[in-house]
Amino acid sequence: MPYIAIKSFPKDQETKEAVVEKINEILLELWGCPQEAITISIEEVAPADWEEKVIKPEINPKKECMMILSGKKCYQQ
C-alpha cells in the first residue's frame, strides 16, 4: 500500500518518470509509508479509446471514490 494506477493519453518517457517521481515524493512525505510499500504504474490509452477503456469501465462505476472528477474536487465532507 499504496498502489497508484495512472491511465493517460500517451506521454514521453521523461514526463512519465517526472510525474511518478513527484507522486512518489508526496507519498513518502505526506502518506508516511516506506518506499518499499509504494507501487505506481502508468498505462497509456489512445484518445480514441478513452471513453470505452477508461470512462465507462473505470470512472463511471467508481464515481463515489473519485477525489477529482473532470477537474472538479469531490472531497467528502
pLDDT digits (tens, 9 = 90+) for 6-58: 999 999 999 999 999 999 999 999 999 999 999 999 999 999 999 999 999 99
Q: What are phi and psi of 41, to 5 degrees?
A: -125, 155
CB 15 within 8 A of CB 8: no
pLDDT surpassing 90 at residue 76: no
pLDDT tens-digit readout, 54-74: 999 999 999 999 999 999 999
- How many helices (H) and strands (E) the chain has is answered by 2, 4
pLDDT surpassing 70 at residue 5: yes
